[in-house]
Amino acid sequence: MLLVDVNAQQERADSSALKEESDRIRCENTAIREAYEHTICHNCGDAPVHDNSYFDAQKL
């Protein structure tokens, strides 16, 4: 019985760690997406053409 409790506790800890990592990566992706959307072309000063489909939520 003790082994089952330890395994369940370890699975909860693993799940929690994975959720934290997922949240961190999601925030990082959002920051990268926002930075990419606000880039300026150094040659002409205009915003470059972005293919926003790359950042489609389905792909993230």
pLDDT in tens, 3-59: 788 899 999 999 999 999 999 999 999 999 888 887 877 777 676 665 555 555 555
What is the structure's pLDDT at 38? Answer: 79
Write down how long the chain is: 60
Give the model's pLDDT for residue 55: 55
How does 45-60 read in b/e, with b if 16+ C-beta sit within 10 Å? eeeeeeeeeebeeeee
